Amino acid sequence: MIDFSILIDNWDTYLEGFKNTIFASLIGLVGSFVIGVIVAVMRIAPIKPLNWIGTVYVEFIRNIPLLIIAFFFYVGLPAIGVTLPGFVAGTIALSIYTASFIAEAIRAGIQSVPKGQMEAARSSGLTYLQAMRLIILPQAIKIVIPPIGNQFINLVKNSSILGMIAGLDLMYFGDIVSSHTFVTFDVYIFVALFYLVLTIPLSLGVGYLEKRLARSH
């Protein structure tokens, strides 16, 4: 069965990685949400050039493998004189990548509110921003919570990309424990358990929010 001595002997190493994975995930959650909201607003704002920028961002970023984006920030940027440590480069890549999916989720949510609502709000004298804030967004938020929650869960798991660019996360230290103990399977089982510690509460939290918002509807 599983050899728990691996977990115990390398506890500090695992914990160091776990801590950095939490940091990367938290920064990534905030970063990707902020960028995602901005991009989503650009995509639906009634200003054409902004729409284009938003569309290019989403189509460009979400169609490139995350690994390549991470390598770009890690070994590509130094070519123009910006050298970022693995942790920073990886977390930026993670935020930028996830933001493209979050932007799409938010856009879809806002656009799923019937058009008539915006028209009715505008014709009753509200400005575009007021209508957005008071009528459209409160409805859209309920629709976008489940897909955004999914993206957050993906983000936590995708943070393992840091392991490829010496980002000192859980995956990085998992690789190192594995290569020093010559044990593969057990080492990664413990890595997976650490990820579950983060993702299961996140998953349950999203489920809870979803139910609460549905009830208040």
Partner 1 sequence: MFKSKSSKLALILFLAMSMLLAACGKGEKASTGGSSKNALEQIKDKGKIVIGVKYDTRLFGLKNPTSGEVEGFDIDISKELAKAILGDEKKVEFKEVTSKTRIPMLNNGDIDAIVATMTISEERKKEVDFSDVYFMAGQSLLVKKGSPIKGLKDLKKGTKVLAVKGSTSAINIREKAPEATVLEYENYTEAFTALKSGQGDALTTDDAILYGMVDQDPKYQLVGGTFTEEPYGIAVKKGNKELVDAINDALKKMKESGKYDEIKNKWIKTN
Q: Which residues are at the interface with partner 1 (CB under 8 A)?
A: 1-2, 74-76, 78-79, 83, 85-86, 164-166, 172, 175-176, 178-180, 182, 184-185, 189, 200, 204, 207, 211
Please state the φ and ψ torsions of residue 3, each to the nearest 5 degrees: -95, 100
Nearest CB to partner 1, comparing residues 99 and 165? 165
The amino acid that residue 15 corresponds to is: L
b/e code 38-49 from CB counts within 10 Å (16+ = b): ebbbbbbeeeee
Residue whose C-alpha is closest to residue 172's, from 2, 1, 24: 24
Least CB distance to partner 1 at residue 5 (A): 15
CB 43 within 8 A of CB 113: no
Instruction: Identify the sign of the CA torsion 41, 43, 46, 48.
Output: positive
Least CB distance to partner 1 at residue 10 (A): 14
Nearest CB to partner 1, comparing residues 120 and 204? 204
Nearest CB to partner 1, comparing residues 1 and 8? 1
Least CB distance to partner 1 at residue 101 (A): 24
Least CB distance to partner 1 at residue 200 (A): 7
